[in-house]
Structure 1
């Protein structure tokens, strides 16, 4: 991806407002009707907390939002948490390291005030002595208020991404694109480093690799963050990294995919062999995409952030401009009708994009826009994923 004849994108300082920007304020989820046993847990928990507060008031000790809670008496709640012994979970680190959180992401609606690394790291989160009964809660969500009132609810609509993603450089051994797939298969990202940085001695792939590496780490330590928060945190940490990059992130939370992008890395959602949604690329002018990094006035807030209800078997194709500039949407739909697996679909699209990028006679979306024939010889990143139910 080239930017200007001198190599670096520098735009006059001015406020850039994208008409496509959707507020990145986290959406609060209201718990649904709870079962009798789960309601019992919440009520008894509140009663215990009220008793503790009354005792402290009698001792002239005012409770604070930062106090730790240690429940020693058994709570009469009929839950079975897939053989997880909650009695032994007393610190934030232990809670965070549970496989049930990191891999299945059953606890994926964690309220920010409950898991605030700066204020609660290492604090006790409270021990709940759970009696096992016949109720098997497969998927759980936890929400907390600042006083640590924990509400547990059953939620059977949990999905993850099943598929493949890869980056291919236009030159052997050199690739300015980067990508990641989170360990729990709920978050995907692609980034495209701006190639013109090479003219000033900077590896264009360094910035894109940093973004993907940092966000991948965030998915391990703070799995509840949405795309805007992931992009913003990586951007803040990248101040000493030379270069710039476009970025696109997809994350599944519950029965929705949350998307965030800055620039011309993008994605499409396919349902029943038809394009259900296509993201809009962000460019200041042709071959001049929005980008994060040094000397760029574009910020994470310049991007587009949305949420997309999903159904089982929906397919997402995510990629950099090296893919979408060479492949028409109709070619993607045609390919999906001709294969019988997501792996075959991925291989078909990757090979088609590589072939067209090197074909001087190819008809491409970019060629249509600029009135030229021939493929765009660029690094290519593409990922193909089908929405699959948890524990299917």
Structure 2
């Protein structure tokens, strides 16, 4: 009897240990939208990770989508050059790696800078490539892995709404949400039935504690990466080799488990559906007593002079948490700016404009650590696949 108990216990422990470790049966079709070279060097780290495992995917596009900062497709092409140097060694361990020439051919430039208030503007090479890939005949969906802002995805959905039925989106949100509040608001308002994983926080599990000197934190580079070819050598150029890999969960999600069921365990996380995405509108200066949920879309509207200016031009700025965000004129004397944050606590802000007669706004807002939290009439209602 004792031996049977030992066997049963061993089986149970093994079962728990292997949860979320089932290989995906077919190569998923993917397109990566990244702000590499822009706001955060973790995209370079995750791009190196992708290239080393690129034999596991049917990669159809690599799009540079820098909502903020100076990212461009040259940053992707530079990573492909390093991959090309490492490819002979990679082929010694596995087959089916894409050729560097193919990867260069599917690398496209997307929008540079955030979309205006409406959430879209003009097509880009990147947004048109998303439409082209999503329109291919296939019995598989196109997985759009978004590592930065949503601007090119929003543009593609605006220009070809039917692609929403052929794509599935895994978005690394959190801080990326603040770079693309306008495109997020457009997608949530007009495509609530989009199949979307909005990962606002669990990606943080891939960020090492640099001060903790062990093999899985501060010593990870020296233990596992140093000497690993040109991609490994280049890794040290970002965050001094400290691992962040914030976009890697989107890759791991498709390397393990059942991607069609986000509620199940996988290397890229498990997720629960939610029925609404918080949006809070303020038509007045706020105080510290005004509280909103973390990751919420906050819209601050100001009544000012009526003007005859283009709707897509920045004419006011909001400064909050040491960063400045552009706002727009909506017409009829109404100005608006959106903001989202992953920081907590009470934050002062100012809203100013060079428009003559514009009333300067000063206030505070308190961010609570709850998501999605209580519902409001101004929230974005979402479908069953978000």
Tell me which interval the TM-score lies in, with the shorter structure as reference length.
under 0.3
Give TM-score scaled by structure 2 length.
0.26
Pair member with larger Rg: 1
Give TM-score scaled by structure 1 length.
0.26
Per chain length, whose mean CA-contact separation is higher, i.e. which structure has more relative contact order (CA < 8 Å, sep 6+)? 1
